[in-house]
Amino acid sequence: MGWFNRRKTVFEDCDVLVVGGGMAGCGATYESKYWGRDLKVVCVEKANIERSGAVAQGLYAINCYMGMQWNENQPEDHVRYARNDLMGLVREDLGYDIARHVDSAVHKFEEWGLPMMRDPETGRYQREGKWQIMIHGESYKPIVAEAARKAADEVYNRIMVTHLLMDEAKSNRVAGAVGFNVRTGDFHVFRAKAVIICAGGASHIYKPRSVGEGMGRTWYAPWSSASAYALPILVGAKMTQMENRIVLARFKDGYGPVGAYFLHLKTYTENAYGEEYESKWYEQTKELVGDYIDHHPTPTCLRNHAFLEELKAGRGPIRMVTKEAFQDPHKETVGWENFLGMTIGQAVVWASQNIDPKHINPELTTSEPYVMGSHATCSGAWASGPEDVAPSDYQWGYNRMMTVEGLFGAGDTIGGSAHKFSSGSYTEGRIAAKAAVKYVNDMNSEKLRVSEKQYEDLKKVIYQPLENYEVGRNEIVAGTVSPSYILPIHGLQRLEKIMDEYVGGISTNYMTNEPLLTRGLELLDMLKEDLDHIGAEDLHQLQRAWELQHRFIASQSVAHHTLFRKETRWPGYYYRGDHPKLDDENWHCLTLSRYDKESDSWDMEKAPVHHIID
């Protein structure tokens, strides 16, 4: 028999299982132990929580901080801001919930040792913008990870979780997760009463602008492999707003951040001929989206839209005017340290191309699309809201529980709560964890049932790519071309090409329509069949194979959602050529999907947007 029979199986029985040890996962782990002193809390991470998730590299700002102690902002203000930026469509209950708690998380970070910058005049945290505060965050993740390690009963590093386990005693209830150790190859079975998915969103589902050695320099981390979505989707959890992908206007090639440049350094953009261009597209944008263009601040997607139109009109590149600000040595330092703190690659690009922003205004570009729940976008799982805030349509049990019982989520995983960023994701992890502890306590002595057959069947599936390779490799002399298997990189590049060309990527200027989406879905179906024939040479490639599977499932979801929403809600993020305008009459709503594994079908529906904040 095959590879799977040679693998050792390691069992872990726990109360709360946190899948993914990034910001949300570290918050969930810490909070689970705080409330669940007698519960066994386990965190499982595919890399090493010391440097995992989107904050692995560090951050130079915390983008979600109210400053309630100085009366700078109130939670309601943040809801209005996120709602405006997402063109009206967010879960206001979830956003409010994060905003009212986020300051306490940030204060703990400071107490734990995160160096905060302070305004020398007021003594308050140094504001970068209305919502952002500036930090020396090179060790942001190691600090947060230290707290999580102290809290957890066990942290399992280097285990790629591939599937969730379901309870066989009660339908639609989660019972744990399985995965494999990417170093030893051991098979891991986690049986847990509650599971909190804190995995990453999706980079590399669209073809990136750099496809050679630089393909890893995506804006979002290449290890964000959409497990946040695939794990819940596969067990039938409802998802929301998966069409709401994000495109980032950033410094060219390195995708270095622009936030501090716009907000703190007061740099601004211009076209190739030194002209301001955003106002030129005002009337045209108004035709598409109506009054949304008059909102302040201008929604991020609409600023992207003006950028793209100006490029199409032949007046690119768009540049950031840095030469004035960088004459100030303090601002120059902030500008560079901003990159070194969170996007070192941009410093490398500038050093290599002799771009000193003191003397040259650097080029900007728009990125390939990403699907995530934590930035200026809100794709993810449909979750129950806070008991004291959520309208009844948004509430069916425990806070942040998905439509699968016992399955919770935070960070990129949860849909509808945009603009949470690092601190809000951490906070949402805390919120989900407290609810998960309550859920476990309420279960009392109720027992879960996970049959040996359930995890043994998954074990066979998980290691199949190793077997595919071993068998198929013998057919050929050498090289990467086989008639019986494709490698993970082959599958990834096909996925990226389909999504790019049919579902609104860079090569079509983010444009798609029903015929394109329909064809894209057909091609995705064929890719799905081929994914049964992935060949993995070793455990590292086995990890890549499962990352690809997760990206694939998220991509299917994105394509179905994009087809369902018959309007162009976020011009600048993507366009439906057959429905080029925003349509509030029919589409001022959230989209929901549910994947049914038995019939391999996707059910789509609308859910109301409740505006609970004026």
Find the binding residues for another protein in span 548-587 (CB under 8 A). Answer: none
When asked if residue 608 is in the footprint of another protein (CB under 8 A), the reply is no
Rounded least distance, CB 58 to another protein, Å:
8
When asked if residue 236 is in the footprint of another protein (CB under 8 A), the reply is no
Q: Which stretch binds another protein (CB under 8 A): 72-80, 288-296, 312-320, 406-414?
A: 72-80
Q: In terms of Cα–Cα distance, which of 166, 152, 210, 158 is closest to 184? A: 158
When asked if residue 128 is in the footprint of another protein (CB under 8 A), the reply is no
When asked if residue 73 is in the footprint of another protein (CB under 8 A), the reply is no
When asked if residue 253 is in the footprint of another protein (CB under 8 A), the reply is yes
Q: Are 378 and 591 in contact (CB under 8 A)?
A: no
Among 1, 123, 171, 213, binds another protein (CB under 8 A): 213
CA angle 228, 234, 235 (to 5 degrees): 105
Rounded least distance, CB 278 to another protein, Å:
27
| Structural Rg of the chain based on CA atoms | 23
Q: In the range 352-371, which residues lie near another protein by CB under 8 A? A: 352-354, 356
When asked if residue 443 is in the footprint of another protein (CB under 8 A), the reply is no
When asked if residue 327 is in the footprint of another protein (CB under 8 A), the reply is no
Pick between residue 255 and residue 564 the one whose CB is nearest to another protein: 255
* Interhelix angle 92-112/75-85, nearest 10 degrees: 120
Among 215, 272, 321, 609, binds another protein (CB under 8 A): 215
When asked if residue 186 is in the footprint of another protein (CB under 8 A), the reply is no
Beta strands in 279-375 (DSSP E): 319-321, 364-366
Size of the site for another protein (CB under 8 A): 84
- Tell me which long-range contacts 77-83 makes (C-beta under 8 A, separation of at least 24): 78/131, 78/419, 79/613, 80/613, 81/130, 81/131, 81/297, 81/419, 82/417, 82/418, 82/419, 83/611, 83/613
When asked if residue 75 is in the footprint of another protein (CB under 8 A), the reply is yes
Pick between residue 600 and residue 614 the one whose CB is nearest to another protein: 614
Q: Which stretch binds another protein (CB under 8 A): 310-318, 432-440, 519-527, 593-601?
A: 432-440
Among 25, 386, 415, 535, binds another protein (CB under 8 A): 386
When asked if residue 263 is in the footprint of another protein (CB under 8 A), the reply is no
The two counts, helices (H) then strands (E), for the chain are 16, 19
When asked if residue 387 is in the footprint of another protein (CB under 8 A), the reply is yes
Rounded least distance, CB 10 to another protein, Å:
19
Place of tokens 């206007």: 249
Among 4, 7, 25, 33, binds another protein (CB under 8 A): 33
Among 13, 34, 282, 584, binds another protein (CB under 8 A): 34
- Tell me which long-range contacts 310-315 makes (C-beta under 8 A, separation of at least 24): 310/271, 310/277, 310/280, 310/281, 312/509, 315/271, 315/272, 315/273, 315/275, 315/277
Q: In the range 103-122, which residues lie near another protein by CB under 8 A? A: 103-104, 107-108, 112-115
Contacts of 129 (CB under 8 A, 6+ apart): 259, 262, 263, 264
When asked if residue 147 is in the footprint of another protein (CB under 8 A), the reply is yes
Q: Which helix (H) or strand (E) holds 42?
A: strand 41-44
DSSP single-letter state for residue 488: H
